[in-house]
Structure 1
Amino acid sequence: MEIQVKQEAEETSPLTGLLAHLAPGPLVSWGMLEVIGLFPVSTEQEQSRTRFVPPMRSLEVVGSPGYGTLVLRNRASDGVLVLPMHVAFFQPGVQNHATSRVLLLDAGETLTADDCFCIQQAQGGTLRQAQQRFCMLPLELRRAAFELQGVKDFRRLWTAIAAYSRRYGINYGGHLERWLRPNFAQLLPYRHALEWLPAQVGAAFFLAGTLVGVEVAPNSTYWAELLPVLLIYCYGSAALLAGRQHCAPSRPTLNLEGLRDLDDLQQRLAEARRREQRAHLAQLCTVASLHKQARPAEEHAGLRLLSISHDGWLGQMVYAGSELVYLSLFRSEL
């Protein structure tokens, strides 16, 4: 797979700047959502990042002592946990919560985050201790979540959730689960149609031909756990809404005028795919210098967390020394 990816990268545009350590895979699509996988340019890069533990199997929710506060623990005795930004935790019969930012937990560390969001308006009860799987806020809610980080008011995302739900024709106030349940069956196919590939550590996400997000994980084991969450809850939800709003897919029609035979058809298809790949990679290259606009947010466990808010893009990135190990970057306007 690595050889194939490198060949593809050489045929198209090599990535630079922020993404210089990555090579793009082929463009794949499902409905309105298109994805270009990102792969390390060397096996040494993957091997040097094994100290970063995968989030699903390593995270434990210790509890929520009060609304808007989460106590989380890294269960790994050896390894750093970079908890992705805007993850959400659901348990039946309690007030569900979502994080407002990336959280860094050293091996065995317990961390209290007191600027989280309650995402079920008027629901009582607090989260119980559990080795907890998580989902993620929909793409359309991430701008509000980003801009409200650090504000200690557990109710502050309810207005944005209510507005988002109304776009789906659901009027349940700031109660995210009431949007998720009736739409989950339509979101699940995104996970199966756009699966993780061996050695993959990230992806660029396009909605109807427009780049809307770039996500990069420390290693392929981490990415294998994160990708289904991104596809179902974050980018899949945006694609589902775009389809309901009758947005047109970006894929061009194939010119068949003067077609001679099947070999000619195959050549035309291959050239059309190359053009489409180049066009999408050109968009991806426009974010390559955004790291120059990042501002420091936190230093912990030997890592630097930085935030980006520039030129229509928002997000956070984590560096170990001079190496980018985590990135979540998304458009502020869709």
Structure 2
Amino acid sequence: MSLGQLGLLGALCGLLMVAGMWMVVRAFRPVPAERAAVPPRWAGLWERICEGLPDPWAAAYRWIVVVAGGAAVVMWIVTARPVQGLLAAAVVAGVPWIWHPAGTSSRRIVRLEALSAWLQHLAGAHVVGHTLEAAISGAMRQVPTPIAEPVRVLEARLRMGVDKEAAYRAFADELADGAVDNVVLVFLTHIKDRGTGMVETLRTLSDLTAEEAAALRTMDAERNKVRTQTRWVAIVVLAMAVGMGSNFGPIWSTFGGQLWLLAMGTAFVGALAWLRRLSAVKPAPRLLRPTVGDGA
């Protein structure tokens, strides 16, 4: 191991020690109550990152990041060049994004189909003269899995005596979808006007939600062709970059070569991010204003 490699490894260990000491100091410092009540901007960042991936990749992405960190350290030790280590980590961590270069609406489709089925069960459980809350409790066994947890929390809140409007709005905030807001608006109207047409309304909402899910599934199938083409283009470009780096190794070891490698890697990541942004499936706009700091 050369002196440059040892120096780079020592610098990395020093950074890790400083980060560890900073985390220890932060752990023992009390957080003021007014700051603790406000979630930080990066709260939920990991969830938002994983939401852009299919479920199997999202479940394993934490371990992929760990492997990416190990790849960066190994590359730094072998080459003693920082950019090669950063690129190695980016390639490993970006494997799910390279294989799935464009967003998919499959998760929302499954959730809309589950919402449609749940509304049908509610219509069957709702008895004229009884409350909607009783129908929600009576249909708990038929709740589809994709929305089982939000519905369970909603039923628990209603059973514990939480304000009905606050409970329904919290349910809408948890799912954060315009289609769910449309359903919750009907629930909020039912609180004040308990008419006799609730069963028909629930069935109509179920049909509309199912139609929206079917339209999204057709659109998603069309976009899958673009995803396939983009995936193989990204793989070919990445293979060419690896081949250039292996054939012209001494060139990339210079300062100018390091800058050029960093520029090409940044451009490649930016192109994938831009393409993903263009093909992203935007959720239906919210019809209800999200509640902040609600005690429900």
Both structures adopt the same fold (TM-score exceeding 0.5): no
Q: Which has the larger share of strand?
A: 1
Bin for the TM-score computed over the shorter chain: under 0.3
Q: Point out the structure with max Rg over C-alpha.
A: 2
Give the alignment's TM-score, normalised by structure 1. 0.22
Higher relative contact order (CA 8 A, sep 6+): 2
